[in-house]
């Protein structure tokens, strides 16, 4: 297989890549060509468009290769929630092609986590191990290894009946209170939701980055309505919450869910919002609504993760395992030295910088 890499591909190539990604069972929004505009790289990162074709010139993978520069022209390479392929069995050839391109650009390793669930997750991880990949240590696993998926194929009534009694009660209470849920109408509303997200993050000591600029999602979806939804929840004329769901083939992924921590006591925050999103996504033909992330019963999780899991479990989702972040050293000595340095930075230095006065 041959990989073609572009600093920025032509519009025609990017359109072909997007069409390919959205047609695959392992589709993820992180591998949309436009993800680099929605979630711009940091000053130390570079996104590269790639396509991989087989001997018959058929496209077998496409997406974004991210390089994070370290020192002396070396970098970490990653394909976030990818690479996207038609099947697990297509991965070895795709990865070999990407490894060669990443190594030629100074990468000391390549980190991947193709989005496969359940039995296919197990098969994917086993295959990756056979080809030299190892699971990233738990302290560096910054993506979910278990998720929560609502099946959208039953009728609306059956889906609603499947939620637990507390969720159903909160939905009805929200409707009686006059809470209104609808799509974000303009950039100003997107900015309000961004502010709510930042306030919630501050209240819960959550770390957020430029993936939480709601204006970028709104602008993208305004031009590409099939790409997803940006929703708001309004009570007594004031927005107090919202959510973003993004298309991943026949699955929609809940990228974020936010509510104002100062919302009036006794007002349900997000149950009606998620129910209305569920109905819209079902109406658009999605078969699954992935709430993205759930406590992994194989590990000890922190209190925030357990709390989020308790909330999501009330919607009675399936909770399959998801392919973990796995890494292949391309320059073993440099990989081990720099991975150790990254651990020290994340565990010791970064918390100090975060707590330093501005």
Residue matched to tokens 């129910």: 275
* The predicted structure's pLDDT at residue 340: 74
Contact 334, 117 (CB under 8 A): no
* The predicted structure's pLDDT at residue 198: 84
Residue matched to tokens 């001997």: 55
pTM value is 0.88
* The predicted structure's pLDDT at residue 19: 92
* The predicted structure's pLDDT at residue 212: 72
Name the residue among 331, 326, 299 with its Cα closest to residue 126: 326
Contact 232, 270 (CB under 8 A): no
Secondary structure string (H, E, C) spanning 335-353: HHHHHHHHHHHHHHHHHHH
Mean pLDDT by 10-residue block, N- to C-terminus, for the chain (358 residues)? 92 93 94 92 93 95 95 92 96 97 95 96 97 91 93 97 95 95 94 88 65 86 91 94 94 92 82 96 96 89 82 94 96 76 62 53
Query: What is the b/e burial string over 102-133, where b = at least 16 CB atoms within 10 angstroms of the residue's CB?
Result: beebbbbbbbbbbbbbeebbebbbebbeeeeb
Q: Cα angle vertex 45, ends 41, 48, to 5°?
A: 85
Token pair in block for residue 29: 């929004």
Q: Cα angle vertex 196, ends 194, 198, to 5°?
A: 70
* The predicted structure's pLDDT at residue 358: 41
* The predicted structure's pLDDT at residue 151: 97
Contact 63, 82 (CB under 8 A): yes
């Amino acid at each position: 297989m041959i990989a073609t890499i572009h600093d920025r591909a032509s519009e025609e190539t990017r359109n072909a890549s997007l069409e390919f990604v959205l047609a695959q069972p392992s589709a993820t929004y992180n591998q949309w060509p436009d993800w680099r505009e929605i979630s711009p790289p940091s000053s130390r990162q570079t996104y590269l468009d790639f396509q991989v074709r087989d001997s018959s010139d058929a496209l077998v993978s496409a997406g974004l290769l991210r390089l994070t520069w370290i020192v002396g022209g070396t970098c970490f390479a990653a394909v976030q929630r990818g690479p996207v392929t038609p099947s697990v069995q297509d991965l070895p050839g795709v990865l070999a092609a990407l490894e060669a391109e990443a190594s030629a650009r100074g990468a000391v390793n390549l980190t991947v986590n193709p989005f496969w669930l359940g039995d296919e997750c197990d098969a994917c991880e086993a295959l990756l191990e056979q080809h030299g990949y190892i699971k990233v240590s738990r302290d560096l696993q910054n993506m979910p290894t278990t998720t929560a998926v609502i099946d959208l194929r039953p009728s609306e009534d059956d889906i609603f009946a499947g939620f637990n009694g507390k969720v159903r009660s909160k939905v009805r209470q929200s409707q009686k209170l006059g809470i209104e849920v609808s799509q974000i109408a303009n950039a100003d509303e997107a900015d309000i939701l961004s502010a709510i997200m930042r306030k919630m993050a501050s209240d819960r000591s959550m770390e957020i980055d430029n993936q939480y600029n709601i204006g970028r999602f709104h602008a993208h979806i305004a031009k590409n309505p099939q790409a997803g939804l940006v929703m708001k929840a309004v009570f007594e004329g004031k927005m107090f919450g919202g959510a973003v769901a993004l298309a991943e083939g026949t699955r929609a992924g809940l990228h974020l869910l936010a509510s104002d921590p100062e919302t009036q006591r006794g007002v349900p925050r997000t149950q009606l919002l998620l129910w209305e999103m569920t109905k819209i996504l079902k109406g658009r033909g999605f078969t699954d609504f992935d709430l993205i992330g759930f406590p992994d019963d194989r590990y000890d999780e922190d209190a925030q993760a357990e709390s989020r899991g308790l909330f999501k479990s009330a919607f009675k989702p399936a909770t399959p395992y998801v392919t973990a972040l796995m890494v292949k050293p391309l320059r073993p000595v440099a990989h081990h030295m720099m991975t150790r340095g990254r651990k020290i930075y994340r565990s010791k230095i970064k918390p100090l910088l975060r707590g330093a006065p501005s």
